[in-house]
Amino acid sequence: MSFTSDYYIGDKDQYLIETPYGKGLITKTRTQNDSNKPSIQEIRLLEWEKAAQVSNISSRRPTILYSTTKYESVSPKLGDDVMTPYGRGTIIQEVSVRLLNKGKVDPITNEPLGERKLIKYHVQITSWKLAGRSRVKCYLFANQVKVVRKKTLMEMNAEERVEFAMKQKKGASILFAEKKYQTALNVYAGCIEAVRYIQHDMNNDNECRADLIDVMVTCSNNAATCCIQLKQWEEAFKYAKNALILLTALFGKRGGKIHSILNKDNGHCDAKLFGEWRIKSRIIMATALFEKEGYDLALEELRLAREHISYYVAGDGTSKEGDSDYKAAKASVSRIRNQEREIMRLKSKITEKKKEVLKIERARAQAMFRETKQEAVQANGSSVTEEQSSFTESTNNVPKAKTESSQNSKETSIKKKVSFAANLEETREIQEEEEEEDPWYEEHIEAIIVLGLGALAFGSFLFARKSLR
């Protein structure tokens, strides 16, 4: 029986009892000054409070019954915390016992006692601490156990918190199998929070620390998987990253006591710890990065995952036949190969998406530069048209010869102004035309002819005079 509401600070072990008003919880026991008088018990009436909640009757304070009567304990059930003559424990099993009572008679009625059935409770004592994972268990009758309230997280020590988280994890796995991802995520997150801030001391053994790592890694990876199903990409990345950090730290402490306990007692071989679990974390991180358009980072995570695969499938981490963990490693390697196929599918998906994005970006860039080129061509055409129209209007009253020469020179000047040609070929033609200038003698052709005729006549005159002599 579990309660989540707050309690008064009182007795360390608070008993659940049956009262005339329903089930109650003894929160505090007060002794009177007179030792002959019985102690007074403060009893919180749980069923009254539940009925008030159903009837929408709000109450700031709990309903308290003060009584000196010693009421009987509630009937124990599987999973209840109980107080026994040997300390506090938990009921882990109920066993039915038959009593034949042959030859015995009832001392009051003098009638023979027939067969009777009684219930024995298999109780695991939690207040005792033994070396390793040893636990004290005993079988007790109902009159030897009294049900007490379960501890809150604040009241639990490190071992109790880890044990609580491991039990909750089993329930969350059932919810995940039923595809109740949000509920499963809430339970996994609760397990992580229950053990996140454990304060270790000398009383915490290595088994507790190993179980803590087991719970933190598995719950973080499973919570990340739930987030992937719910499309909560940032939360998935954080949970998977948390698991990967713990596994990386453990990888650096290989061969230590905690690593050995995880291998031998918890049954986790290295191929599972540093191969399967790390690969799972990186696949989840790559998926989250891909959905957030971090394609290069996602591919890098997949590359690192492939390195883990090569190490534990065909590398130095491969277990050989005859090793103590050979069977477990073989089963883990089989799961790793399935993860490898998942990695290849995800890598192909990321690569195709990356190519699509690059193609879209190139098309966008080409469209931008193509538009600029068209605007330049339109600007060139409009400027030449305007110059030609103004030139035509200004040459209407000029003689034909001068008009043609001036028109040629005008066209040359127009071409010189067009410095932003559409392509290099046009620019090169303009430069070549600029370099071709008119010959120097075209403007003085008539004077040269006159000088030539004069020189010819003078030469003829000299020749005739010489012949007469």
Look at the block and give the residue holding tokens 């980072």: 297
Q: What is the reported pTM?
A: 0.69
Query: Which is the CATH superfamily of the domain at 155-354?
Result: Tetratricopeptide repeat domain (1.25.40.10)
CA atoms of 438 and 313, how far apart (whole Å): 84
Q: Which parts of the chain have pLDDT scores under 70?
A: 1-9, 54-60, 100-103, 105-108, 111-115, 200-202, 316-324, 370-445, 463-469
Closest C-alpha to 187, from 166, 208, 212, 157: 166
Q: What is the pLDDT of residues 248-277, one digit of tens each?
A: 999 999 989 999 999 988 889 999 999 999
CA atoms of 354 and 44, how far apart (whole Å): 64
Domain chopping of the chain, boundaries: 1-74, 78-150, 155-354, 439-469
CA atoms of 151 and 166, how far apart (whole Å): 16
Q: Is 136 helix (H, G, I), strand (E, B) or coil?
A: strand
User: Got the DSSP string for 215-247?
Assistant: HHHHHHHHHHHHHHHTT-HHHHHHHHHHHHHHH
Number of Cβ within a 10 Å radius of residue 142:
14
pLDDT at position 425, please? Answer: 47
Contacts 24+ apart (CB under 8 A), 241-247: 241/281, 241/285, 242/216, 243/216, 243/217, 243/277, 243/281, 244/278, 244/281, 244/282, 244/285, 246/213, 246/216, 246/217, 246/220, 247/217, 247/273, 247/274, 247/277, 247/278, 247/281
**Which is it for strands 22-30 and 87-99: parallel, antiparallel or unpaired?**
unpaired
User: Got the DSSP string for 358-380?
Assistant: HHHHHHHHHHHHHHHHHHHHHHH
User: What are the backbone angles phi and psi of residue 66, rounded to the nearest 5°?
Assistant: -100, 125
Number of Cβ within a 10 Å radius of residue 464:
9
pLDDT at position 93, please? Answer: 92
